[in-house]
Amino acid sequence: MAKNTNSFKHESLQDQASVVAYLNLICQSIEKGQIHLANDEDDVTIRTKGLSRLKIKAKQAKTHQELRITLAWSGDTDKKTESNPTLEVTSKPAKNPKKAKKPNKIKKKTRTKSDKVTIKKTK
Q: What is the pLDDT of residues 28-80, one digit of tens each?
A: 999 999 999 998 888 899 999 889 999 999 999 999 999 999 999 986 655 66
pLDDT reported for residue 34: 94
* 118 confidence band (pLDDT: 50, 70, 90): very low
Q: How far apart are alpha carbons 98 and 96 in whole angstroms?
A: 6
Q: How far apart are alpha carbons 92 and 90 in whole angstroms?
A: 6
SS3 78: coil
Instruction: Give per-residue burial for 52-78: e unless 16+ CB within 10 Å, then b.
Output: eeeeeeeeeeeeeeeeeeeeebeeeee
**pTM score, whole prediction:** 0.64
Handedness of CA 11, 49, 106, 111 (dihedral sign): positive
Domain ranges of the chain: 16-74
Q: What is the pLDDT of residues 12-28, one digit of tens each?
A: 999 999 999 999 999 99
pLDDT reported for residue 29: 95
pLDDT reported for residue 97: 59
